[in-house]
Amino acid sequence: MTPNKDPFSLFDAAGIEQYVRQILKQSIPGMDPRAGAAHYDTEMTETPQHIIVKIHIAALSEARKLKLQVAPTQVKLEKKMTDQEHEQWIRLPHPVIPTSCRAVYKNGIMQLHMRKQDKDELFYEIEVSYP
């Protein structure tokens, strides 16, 4: 390999993806990563104090079937379909305060507003009582 050559050009990304799909299919019987799983397109915007996540869901009836959960570093979308459950995880670029999350569905978009944690908020001092 020459020093100026891009090291990632040696890998066949399509071949790796196909291999991973094949292993998943063998490991989890009946699993096809593309079949039946609702994957929603998302957009993310950051302001100095907030993270805004937009989830594109065309139908209101579809949006009502979703369960949303927020953790400091990710959002989880959960949809129950008959006997199966589908999940989609959205990693957040900065820790947020989960209890600050507000969600509104309007015009085909579920919009989540979350307040970022300040650097000081990442750790909480614990008071210790000594008997």
* Domain containing residue 109: CATH number: 2.60.40.790
Domain of residue 106 covers 40-118
Structural contact between residues 75 and 67, judged by C-beta atoms closer than 8 angstroms: no
Q: What is the pLDDT of residues 34-83, one digit of tens each?
A: 444 568 899 999 999 999 999 999 888 888 888 999 999 999 998 877 66
CB environment 4-42: b (16+ within 10 A), e (fewer): eeeeeeeeeeeeeeeeeeeeeeeeeeeeeeeeeeeebeb
Are residues 51 and 25 located together in one domain of the fold? no
76-112 b/e (C-beta count within 10 Å ≥ 16 → b): ebebeeeeeeeebebebeebbebeebebeeeeebbbb
Considering its fold, how many domains does the chain have in total? Answer: 2
* Same domain for 45 and 109: yes
Q: Decide: 34 and 60 in contact? Cβ < 8 Å.
A: no
3-class DSSP state for residue 67? strand
Considering the domain boundaries, does residue 23 fall inside one? yes
Q: Is residue 129 part of a domain?
A: no
Distance CA 52, CA 43 (A): 8
Does residue 1 lie in a domain region? no
- For residues 28 and 51, state if they share a domain: no
Say if residue 55 is in the same domain as residue 30. no
Q: Give the pLDDT mean for 9-38.
A: 62
Tokens of 98: 């989960």
Is the whole model's pTM more than 0.85, yes or no?
A: no
Write out pLDDT tens, residues 84-130.
Answer: 778 899 999 999 999 999 999 999 999 999 999 887 666 666 777 77
Tell me, yes or no, whether 81 and 109 share the same domain.
Answer: yes
Assigned domain for 2 exists: no
Residues 57 and 77 in one domain: yes
Would 49 be classed as within a structural domain? yes
